[in-house]
Amino acid sequence: MDAAARRNTVPAERAASFFTFVAVVVALAVLVCAVPISRLPQELPGLPAAFWVMATLAVLCDYRPFAPPGRRQSSAVFPSICFTFAILLAWGLGPAVLVQAAAVVVSATQLHHTTWRAIFNIAQYALALGAAEAVLVGLQETAFAEGSGPVWIDVVAATVAAVAWFVVKYGTVTVAVRLHSGGNWWNTFRQGIAFESLSVGALLLLAPVLVGGPASRSVALIPLMLVPLFAVYRMSRLSSEQEHLARLDPLTGLANRKALLSEVQEQATLHAARAAAGAPDRHFALLLLDLDRFKHVNDALGHAVGDQLLIEVSGRLERLVGRNDVVARLGGDEFAILTPRLTDAAEARALADRIVATLSEPVALDGLPLDVAGSIGIALYPEHGEDFATLMRHADVAMYDAKHRRDTVVVYAPESDHNTPERLSLLGDLRRALDPDLAATPAAGEITMYYQPQIEIQTGAVVGVEALLRWRHPKRGMVDPEELIKVAEQSAVMRLLTRRVVDDVIEQLAKWQAAGVCLRAAVNVSIRDLHTLEIVDQIRDRLARFAVPADHLQLEITEGALMADPRRVLATISELAKLGVAIALDDFGTGYSSMQHLRRLPLTEVKVDRSFVLGMATDADDHAIVRTVIDLAGALGLRVVAEGVEDERTWRLLRSVGCHVAQGWFYARPMPADELAEWLGRYRPLNPGA
C-alpha cells in the first residue's frame, strides 16, 4: 500500500473503530435500560412531587453547563447528575435514565452537539446509572428508596455506587476520545481525571445527602440544594480558571512554558501513535525566537516601552501562525512557536521566514518607530528530539547558532551542538585526564604533545616546531584534535588544558636546551586564555623555573580570537610581548582582522592558512592570495610561515615568492618529542639550488 493510500486508510479505520464503539455503547445501554424504561408508564403516575421537582431542576440546571477552557470536550460540569443519581437511589433506574436523557437533550441543544453525540451521551449516562444500580442491588441497598434513615452501610453502598458510575462514564469517554483523536491511552485517561473526579465526585456524593435529607422531609427544601450545587459549580470554574491562568503569560496572554510543555508532549504522543499505526511520516517543529537588541530598548526607553513592544510582537505572531499552532512566551524577549503537521524542515523554515518578514516592519510606540529583528532556531520532531527538553535544547542551540552566524533562521544541526551527551561525557573524561591526581590512571587516558618541524625555506634549517595536543582516550582511541578543542573551548576546562600544554612545552624546551637543541616552540591559545592576565603570570613563572629564554616560546592566536575582543586581547599579548614571548597570528586570511589591528599588535609572525597553501599550485587565486599575504607581512616586518606544505612544487612556489618558513607533511608529520629527536638526527636539508 503506497503512502497516499495509507493516508486515507488510517483515518478511515479510526473512524470505523470509533463509530463501532459508539454503536456498542448504545446497544448495551438499550439492553440495560429496556426493562426499566418499559415500566415507566406504570411508575410515573405514582412518583411523588419530590421526583418532579428534582427532574425539573435537573433539566433547568443543565441549560447552562460549565465547560472549562483548554480541556477535552467531555470535561464539563453537568449539575443534573446530582439529581439523577439521587433519583436512582430513591426511585430506581428507569426514572433516573429518563430525567438524565431529558437533561442531555437540553444541554446538547445549548452546546450545539450533533444528534449522534447526544445519543452517545445518553447511552453513557444510562450505562453509568446501570452500573450504579447493579452495585446497589448487589449490596441490597434499600434505605434511600424506602425513605428510612440511612446508616453507615447505606452510605458506603451509595459511595461504591457513585464510584461505579464514575468509572463507567469516564472510561467510556476516554475510549471514545482515544478512538476519535488517537494518542496514548494513559495520557488520554489522565488528561481530565483530576478535574472530573473532583467536580463529578462532589455532585454524585451530594445525591445521598439530597435524597436522605430534604427530599425525605419536605419538597420545599429540595431547591435549597441549588446552593451547594452552585458552590460546586463555582469551585470547578475557579479551579479551572486558576489552572488556565497558570498556563498563560501574564503580560502577553500567550501560552507559557508549562502550557508549551503540555502541548509538545501531546503532539509527541499523537505523532508516535500515528507512526505506530503506519501513518505517513509527519513532523512537528519547535521554533525558538529571541529578539535582537531588546535590552537596548529597555535601557534606553524604559521597561514600560519594552513591555509594549513584547505585546506588539506577540500580537503579530498570533496573527501570523495557523489555527493549530501554539505561540508561547518563555520569558524576557524569548518566544516559542509549536507548529504541527509538517512534511519537512522546509515548511518550518518557510514559517520562520514569514515571522522574520513580519517582525521587520517597524513598531510605532509613542510615535517612535522601533526596528524589531530576531534570530530563530528550529528543531524538528522526531529528527532532533522526541521530548520537550531535547527539542528545546536543540532549538536553543540552533537559535544561538543563528546569532553567531548573524543569520536569521537556522535549523538545528548536530555539528553545531557543542553540548551533546557524547561531548559532555567527553568533557568529563578530559577534565579527569587533566586532574593531576587522576592523570596517571588508565581511565583518564593519555594527554601528550606532538611536534611538527618548521623549516626555513631558503636554508632548509629546522628553526622551530609547532606544539600540537594529542589525547588518547581509553575507549575512543585518539580523539580528533578539532573535536577536542570544540569540547574544551566552551568551558573552564580550556584554561586547564592551556595550563597543561604550556607546562609540558616549556619543560620540553628545557630538555632540548640541555641536550644542545635550540628550537622555538609555537603553542596555540584560545580566546579564553587571552581574556585575563593569568596566562602571563603562568608563562613568566614557568620560563623562570626552567630557565628557558622567552624568545624560545611563541603563542599563536587566531583572527577570530583577536576580533572577538580586541581591547582585552591586546592588553594580554602586550604583556606577553614585554616578557619577550613571540606572538603569531594563526590562519591569516580566513578572518576579518583589520589593518589597524595588525599595525597595533606586537606580532612577530603570521601564518598563512593551509586552505590557501594547499591550492596555490593549481589555483591562480590561491597563489595570488599567498603572494599578497607574504608581501603585506614583509611590508610590516613580519615573518611568514606557510602551513600545509605537502609537495615539492608547493615548496618551490613558496620559495619563489619569498616565504620565510614552511611546515607540512612534505617535511614531516607531527611526532612525539622522543621521535622528533631521532628525526632531527636523520634530517638532511633540501638543496635550495636543486
The one-letter code for the residue type at 464 is G
Contacts of 445 (CB under 8 A, 6+ apart): 429, 433, 471, 472, 473, 474
* Higher-scoring residue by pLDDT: 217, 387: 387
- Where is average pLDDT lowest: 358-372, 443-457, 654-668? 358-372
- Please report the pLDDT score of residue 547 as a whole number: 93
**Ranked by mean pLDDT, which of 208-217, 218-227, 364-373, 665-674 comes out on top?**
665-674
Per DSSP, the residues of 21-76 read: HHHHHHHHHHHHHHHHHHTHHHHGGG--HHHHHHHHHHHHHTTS-B--TTS-TT--
Beta bridge partners of 553: 521
pLDDT at 540 over 50: yes
pLDDT at 552 over 70: yes
519-546 average pLDDT score: 87
Nearest residue to 252 via CA among 300, 285, 291, 299: 291
A 10 A CB-CB count for 286 gives 31
Contacts of 637 (CB under 8 A, 6+ apart): none
Nearest residue to 426 via CA among 441, 445, 412, 442: 445
Say what percent of the chain tops pLDDT 90. 20
pLDDT at 224 over 70: no
CATH class of 11-245: mainly alpha
Alpha helices in 360-459 (DSSP H): 388-404, 421-434
Q: Locate 70 and state its grid cell.
A: 483548554
- Where is average pLDDT lowest: 341-350, 364-373, 460-469? 364-373
Q: 3-state class of 524 per DSSP?
A: strand
- Please report the pLDDT score of residue 238 as a whole number: 60
The one-letter code for the residue type at 144 is F
pLDDT at 663 over 90: yes
Confidence of residue 483 (pLDDT cuts 50, 70, 90): confident
Confidence of residue 245 (pLDDT cuts 50, 70, 90): low
Q: Confirm or reject CATH 3.40.50.9100 for domain 424-681, answering yes or no.
A: no
Question: What tens digit of pLDDT does each residue of 498-524 get?
Answer: 888 999 999 999 999 999 888 999 998
d(CA 176, CA 570): 70
- Please report the pLDDT score of residue 72 as a whole number: 43
302-331 average pLDDT score: 85
- Where is average pLDDT lowest: 4-18, 562-576, 624-638? 4-18
Contacts of 316 (CB under 8 A, 6+ apart): 358, 359
pLDDT at 454 over 90: yes
Confidence of residue 645 (pLDDT cuts 50, 70, 90): very high
**Buried/exposed code over 134-163 (b: 16+ C-beta within 10 A; e: otherwise):** ebbeeeebebbeebeebeeebbebbebbbb
Q: Where are the domains of the chain?
A: 11-245, 257-416, 424-681
d(CA 214, CA 219): 7
Element (DSSP H or E) covering residue 559 = helix 559-564
d(CA 683, CA 667): 9
Sheet holding 326-331, edge to edge: 326-331, 334-342, 283-291, 374-381, 409-411
- Please report the pLDDT score of residue 117 as a whole number: 84
Angle CA 531–532–537, to nearest 5:
140
pLDDT at 416 over 70: no
* Higher-scoring residue by pLDDT: 331, 527: 331
Contacts of 307 (CB under 8 A, 6+ apart): 251
Chain centroid to Cα 560, Å, comes to 29
Tell me, letter by letter, the H, E, C secondary structure of 575-600.
HHHHHCCEEEEEEECCCCCCHHHHHH
**Ranked by mean pLDDT, which of 17-26, 192-201, 675-684 comes out on top?**
675-684
A 10 A CB-CB count for 301 gives 16
Mean per-residue pLDDT of the chain = 80
pLDDT at 11 over 50: no
Element (DSSP H or E) covering residue 208 = helix 193-212
- Please report the pLDDT score of residue 590 as a whole number: 56
Q: What are phi and psi of 290, to 5 degrees?
A: -125, 125
Q: Are strands 326-331 and 334-342 parallel, antiparallel or unpaired?
A: antiparallel
d(CA 515, CA 674): 12
Q: Locate 610 and state its grid cell.
A: 593551509
Q: 3-state class of 689 per DSSP?
A: coil
Nearest residue to 679 via CA among 465, 527, 426: 465
Q: Locate 569 and state its grid cell.
A: 586581547
Residue pair 580/560 in contact by the 8 Å Cβ criterion = no
102: left (phi over 0), alpha (psi -120 to 50) or beta: alpha
Confidence of residue 146 (pLDDT cuts 50, 70, 90): low
Residue pair 290/374 in contact by the 8 Å Cβ criterion = yes
- Please report the pLDDT score of residue 402 as a whole number: 82
Distance of CA 177 to CAs 20, 166, 170, 235, 259, Å? 13, 16, 11, 26, 21
Confidence of residue 371 (pLDDT cuts 50, 70, 90): confident
- Please report the pLDDT score of residue 571 as a whole number: 83
pLDDT at 231 over 90: no
648-664 average pLDDT score: 92
Q: Are strands 553-558 and 582-588 parallel, antiparallel or unpaired?
A: parallel
Distance of CA 171 to CAs 115, 124, 198, Å? 21, 9, 16
Confidence of residue 627 (pLDDT cuts 50, 70, 90): very high
**Ranked by mean pLDDT, which of 4-13, 131-140, 339-348, 502-511 comes out on top?**
502-511
pLDDT at 1 over 50: no
d(CA 356, CA 350): 10
Contacts of 673 (CB under 8 A, 6+ apart): 449, 451, 508, 511
CB-count exposure of residue 415 (10 Å: 0-12, 13-18, 19+): exposed
DSSP conformation class of 251: T
d(CA 502, CA 43): 99
Element (DSSP H or E) covering residue 455 = strand 446-456
Q: 3-state class of 460 per DSSP?
A: coil
Residue pair 445/473 in contact by the 8 Å Cβ criterion = yes
Question: What tens digit of pLDDT does each residue of 66-96 get?
Answer: 554 444 444 566 888 888 988 888 888 989 9
A 10 A CB-CB count for 632 gives 16
Give CATH for domain 257-416.
3.30.70.270
